[in-house]
A and B are shown apart, each in its own frame.
Chain A
Amino acid sequence: MDLNSKYTPQSWPEHPEQATLEGKNKFVGFWLFLGGETVLFASLFATYLALKNKGPSGMEFTTQGLFELPLVFIMTMLLLTSSLTSVYAMYHMRNYNFKAMQAWLMITVLLGAAFLGFEIYEFNHYVHLGFTYDQSAFSTAFFTLVGTHGLHVLIGLGWIILLMIRNAKRGLNLYNAPKYYVASLYWHFIDVVWVFIFTVVYLMGALE
């Protein structure tokens, strides 16, 4: 494809992410990948639920006593908002407004990084309480499930930052538009998983 073909907002296609065969392939392939990721996270959720509150006899840690819901609430808000900001980025991509897209992605990255910071703080806090990775089956399952989500956030951040740096000088074209689009899909999917984490792990854990 010709990277040099210049577009105007008028000639920019309606669905730039699917305007080329490569784009279509990326689009479908990524959705399929998300289907697989659904099963991956389901396996982790299932393992967590089977091992929830299980530990050596006399273990003092339970979901009811451990989790810090206010912190989780802040993290949820950060991630939800970052989902909206990446929608804004895609809105500007459709309108061929590269600067605005990069700016919204920047905000997305900042929100995501803040989320990750809180998560690290949270894990650190639990470890200081003695709830370490090898403390019990419960702790192992908890850190693995939530940590896998955190790893996804980290990968998403790295991905978006790399895209922003790589394309900073040359702007939008039909080669990188699908890349931005699937990166934003990935970011939304991270949010989808988080919705279940805060509901199933934290909120339902806090219930008596």
Chain B
Amino acid sequence: MSLIAEKKSFGAVLWDYLTTVDHKKIAILYLIAGGIFFIIGGIEAMLIRIQLAVPDNDFVAAGLYNQILTMHGTTMIFLAAMPLLFAFMNAVVPLQIGARDVAFPFLNSLGFWMFFFGGIFLNLSWFMGGAPDAGWTSYASLSIASPGHGIDFYALGLQISGGGTLIAGINFLVTIINMRAPGMTYMRMPLFTWSTFVASALVLFAFPPLTVGLFLMIFDRMFSGNFFNHLLGGNTIIWEHLFWIFGHPEVYILALPAFGIFSEIIPTFARKRLFGYSAMVFATVLIGFLGFMVWAHHMFTTGMGATANAIFAVATMAIAVPTGVKIFNWLLTMWGGNVKFTTPMLYALGFIPSFVAGGVTGVMQASAPLDYQLHDTYFIVAHFHYVIIGGVVFGLLAGLHFYWPLMFNTMLNETLGKITFWLFFIGFHATFFIQHFLGLLGMPRRVFTYGADQGWDLFNLISSYGAIFMAVAVVVLVANIIMTIAKNQPVGRDPWEDGRTLEWAIPQPVPFYNFKQTPLVRGLDTYWIEKQEGNKEGMTYAEPVMDIHMPNNSIIPFIMAFGLFVGAFGALFNGEKAWAVPVLILGLLITFISMGARSLKDDLGYHIHKEDLLNDKGGKH
């Protein structure tokens, strides 16, 4: 069922993807949309580095620089990193746990389209009077004062896409709780599924504070509220707290699935069982839990008081413990293994030292007195890029190479993949390692330029050269993808030859119903066990061939998300244009009427009959 395999008219394919509720196709949608936003965010990053390459530069003006900087952060976090992780979660998790689909296929589609329209809405700000310019954290003291509509685009766009994320999180949780194959106990779940589970739980609890924070912002800016207006008793610190109650778990929402991807890649290519599986699970859960207790370490300098600073400092340092457990487990998995240096494995090897460096600077900042020195300098910029690129982006690129054959039944070119890796790895360290020192030398973050001869000229230039390496790496990656799609050489099942988990046991291309018969899971690393026992099928089945129930496709999720998109324009221009309120109502009506249509019309799905399954055509389509 891959989009390449079948010859269909473009319109039919488009309609298929607009209406699909199949988790594998939604994964592809997430991959495409997230990839495009990743490129947009990358271009913004390049503009930043060009501007900062030399002192007193006037490549972009100060105001425009603020917009580019804000959109770079917002795009990369909300519209690139998270959707790309959702792409892999969608593609892999149901297959890993032996499920035919996710728990709520309709909501899965709705979640994607809400993310998509939210992202489009946010980026339309470029063409409608200017993008948000208060930083990705959008602190209320800045954002309330910001003229124009940039911040309104930020608040409304993130509200819509955040809703989509929340839906996706609940969907993954229920899928993992309820739809595991027989024998797939919690302690037999592959680590990527575990990290998806914990990250989804973080989404469930972290996004509501963001929702509230964004609503407060929307009310203040568009509907004359006073939450952050200090003249009328408001308090901007409320925004900071709400934002970081969301924002800190968000770091783990990104990092944990990346850890999960590495926990799949390392045992596969070390050809050795993951060392300390249960400790890994425990560490994942603990990181998720502690992730909620530390948000105020972003606010040490707001004057919370020594007691609060001390509590949050200690809690923050505690997170280093389970993270260290994970690092050592990965190292010990490779220890004595027969390591194969494929592209995904290279990323995994590059990830460990890079992420450790980011973690160590994190512990430095957790010490509140030191943070008073480091706060708002380039040291912070260096730190979080080490965590987000060294951890998450390496994970995404590794996952892209690793799971590409699972998603598309063809393999990315390994040579080009390795070139990408080395360019990216070198470029990344060249760009960001030096920024630690820029920070220690006192360069503040978010400035659009700096004076010559402050001792920052050379380091900034080196940093910008490093960014060029990363850009070239991404160009090579895109070329690799285009060539691979053009060649489209099928590789079949288990292309890495050392797949351990259930997703590699499915015949390729993956049938749209995933499993003809539900598998029986007999232990950790199911597929490995079956291979060791010489089972050619790759699976032991838990049931005979029976009718399979499938959900119907639906265009309603698309329309519902579109309604919110329309309504957002109404809210944005409230009190400014005469058509604002009607448009707001119209948009909400579109959403609610389609929601009503959904509940009034029964969606019972359809069955693929046993006979069709047995005649090898695999049912309908």
Binding site for B on A (CB under 8 A): 1, 3, 21, 24-25, 28-29, 32-33, 35-37, 39-40, 43-44, 46-47, 50-51, 54-56, 59, 133-141, 144, 162-163, 166, 175, 179
Please determine whether A43 and B213 come into contact, CB atoms closer than 8 angstroms.
Answer: yes
The closest CB in chain A to the CB of B103 belongs to: A25
Taking a contact as CB atoms under 8 Å apart, the answer to whether B177 and A175 are in contact is no
B410 to chain A, nearest CB (A): 33
Contact of A50 with B208 in the complex, beta carbons under 8 Å: no
- B205, A162: Cβ atoms under 8 Å? no
If the complex has contacts A29-B174, A175-B602, are A43 and B208 also in contact, measured as CB distance less than 8 A? yes
Cβ of B599 and Cβ of A40 under 8 Å apart? no
A interface footprint on B131-163 (CB within 8 Å = 1, 0 otherwise): 000000000000000000000000000000000
- Residue of B225, B232, B604 contacting most chain A CB atoms (<10 Å): B232
From A36, A133, A139, B207 is in contact (CB under 8 Å) with A36
State whether A24 touches B178 (Cβ < 8 A).
yes
Q: Is B513 an interface residue (CB 8 A)?
A: no
A135: B residues at CB distance < 8 A? 226, 232
With A and B bound together, what is the CA distance between A166 and B173 in angstroms? Answer: 29
B259 sits at the interface (CB 8 A): no
Contact assessment for B208 and A54 in the assembled complex, using a CB-CB cutoff below 8 Å: no
CB-CB nearest in chain B for A59: B233
B473-505 interface mask toward A, CB cutoff 8 Å, 1 = contact, 0 = none?
Answer: 000000000000000000000000000000000
Roughly how many angstroms separate A164 CA and B546 CA in the complex, as a whole number? 35
Q: A44 contacts which of B174, B212, B241, B600 (Cβ < 8 Å)?
A: B212
Chain A residues whose CB sits within 8 angstroms of the CB of B604 once the complex forms: 1, 3, 175
A121–B208 Cα distance when bound, in Å, is 29
Q: Which residues of A contact B232 (CB under 8 A)?
A: 55-56, 134-137
Tell me the smallest distance from the CB of A172 to a CB of chain B, in Å: 14
- Of residues 177 to 233 in B, which have CB atoms within 8 Å of A's CB atoms? 177-179, 204-205, 207-209, 211-213, 215-216, 219-220, 223-227, 229, 231-233
Which chain A residue lies CB-closest to B203?
A: A36
Q: Which residues of A contact B583 (CB under 8 A)?
A: none
> Is B245 close to A, CB under 8 A?
yes
Expressed in whole angstroms, the Cα–Cα distance for A175 and B604 within the complex equals 9
Q: How far is the CA of A137 from the CA of B235 in the complex (A)?
A: 8
Residues of A within 8 A of B174 (CB): 25, 28-29, 32
- When distances are taken between beta carbons in the complex, the residues of chain A under 8 Å from B212 are 40, 43-44, 47
Closest to A162 in B: B599
**Is B582 an interface residue, CB under 8 A from the partner?**
no
Q: Is the CB of B219 within 8 A of A32?
A: no
A19 to B178, CA, bound (A): 13
Q: How far is the CB of A166 from chain B (nearest CB, A)?
A: 6
Task: Identify which of A25, A137, A179 contacts B234 (C-beta below 8 A).
Answer: A137
Instruction: Say whether, besides A24-B178, A40-B208, A175-B602, A54 and B233 are in contact (CB < 8 Å).
Output: yes
Q: Is the CB of A47 within 8 A of B204?
A: no
Q: Is the interface of B mostly helix, strand, loop or mixed?
A: helix
Q: Known contacts A43-B209, A47-B242, A133-B225; can you find 4 more A-B pairs with CB under 8 A?
A: A59-B233, A134-B232, A137-B233, A144-B215
**Across the interface, do B231 and A140 meet the contact criterion of CB distance under 8 Å?**
no
Query: Given contacts A50-B235, A51-B235, A51-B238, are A25 and B178 in contact (CB under 8 A)?
Result: yes
* Residues of A close to B234: CB separation below 8 A: 51, 54, 137, 140
Answer whether residue B596 sits at the interface, using C-beta atoms and an 8 A cutoff.
Answer: yes
In the complex, what's the smallest C-beta–C-beta distance from A173 to chain B, in angstroms? 10
Confirm or deny: B104 has a beta carbon within 8 angstroms of a beta carbon on chain A: yes
* Chain B residues with a Cβ closer than 8 Å to the other chain, count: 42
Q: Which residues of B contact A32 (CB under 8 A)?
A: 170, 173-174, 204
The answer to whether A50 and B233 have CB atoms under 8 Å apart is no
CA distance A47 to B224 in the complex (A): 17
In angstroms, Cα B223 to Cα A32, docked, is 31
Which residues of chain B come closer than 8 Å to A144, judged between CB atoms? 215-216, 219, 225, 227
A-side contacts of B233, CB under 8 Å = 51, 54-56, 59, 136-138
Flag if A29 contacts B104 (CB, 8 Å). Answer: yes
Shortest C-beta distance, B293 to chain A (Å), equals 14
Q: How far is the CB of B95 from chain A (nearest CB, A)?
A: 18
Between-chain CB contacts (< 8 Å), 13 pairs = A28-B173, A36-B170, A40-B211, A43-B212, A47-B227, A54-B234, A56-B231, A59-B233, A135-B232, A136-B226, A137-B233, A140-B225, A144-B225
Chain A: which residue is nearest B200 at the CB level? A32
CA distance A205 to B199 in the complex (A): 38
With contact pairs A144-B219, A175-B604 given, residues A29 and B205 touching in the complex (Cβ less than 8 Å)? no
CB of B574, distance to nearest CB on chain A (Å)? 13
**A36 and B103 contact, Cβ closer than 8 Å, known pairs A55-B232, A55-B233, A166-B599:** no
B208 touches A37 (CB 8 A): yes
How far apart are A47's CB and chain B's nearest CB, in angstroms?
6
Tell me, in angstroms, the Cα distance from A144 to B205 when the chains sit together. 20
Q: How far is the CB of A70 from chain B (nearest CB, A)?
A: 28
Contacts of A138 in B (CB 8 A): 233
Residue B166 at the A interface, CB < 8 A? yes
Q: Is the CB of B224 within 8 A of A134?
A: yes
CA–CA, A32 to B175, complex, Å? 12
Question: Which one of A1, A29, A35, A47 lies within 8 Å of B238 (CB-CB)?
Answer: A47
> Which of A59, A133, A179 touches B224 (beta carbons < 8 Å)?
A133
A157 CB → nearest B CB, Å: 14
Partner of A140, one of B205, B227, B241, B599: B227
| Chain A residues, Cβ within 8 Å of B179 | 21, 25
Nearest CB in chain A to that of B225: its residue = A140
**Within the complex, what minimum Cβ distance (angstroms) separates A181 from chain B?**
15
